[in-house]
């Protein structure tokens, strides 16, 4: 994903997560490196996706803004966050040590 993610621009993310989630049993990796802004609607979508997908949902390469947002609201404890897309794909939820700690 790239650009700003807010109430008016969140629909493509919702659609992409729904399509990826229904596409099989493999991981759903969300690369947030290009996100410049995210608001509470983004947080809501991510939490809902995590509730539906469980450990299949993996956040990779969060931008500095997203990192700060996750830290401020404590979302890092709820969602698996990885430094790279490759880490998210390879290590995934089977390796708890791969998830970055705050």
* pLDDT of 73: 95
The arrangement of secondary structure in 2-98, i.e. its CATH architecture, is 2-Layer Sandwich (3.30)
| Cβ contact 66:89 at 8 Å | no
Answer yes or no: is pLDDT of 4 > 50: yes
Report pLDDT digits (tens) over 49-67. Answer: 999 999 999 999 999 999 9
Which residue, 28, 34, 29, is CA-closest to 63? 34
Both structure tokens of 53:
């997908």
pTM as predicted: 0.84
Answer yes or no: is pLDDT of 30 > 70: yes
């Amino acid at each position: 994903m790239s650009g700003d993610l807010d109430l008016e621009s969140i629909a493509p993310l919702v659609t992409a997560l729904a399509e990826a989630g229904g596409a099989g049993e493999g991981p759903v990796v969300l690369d947030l490196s290009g996100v410049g802004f995210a608001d509470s609607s983004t947080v809501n979508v991510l939490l809902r996706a995590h509730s539906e997908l469980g450990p299949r949902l993996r956040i990779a390469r969060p931008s500095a803004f997203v990192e700060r947002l996750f830290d401020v609201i404590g979302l890092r404890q709820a969602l698996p966050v990885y430094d790279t897309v490759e880490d998210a794909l390879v290590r995934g939820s089977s390796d708890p040590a791969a998830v970055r700690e705050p």
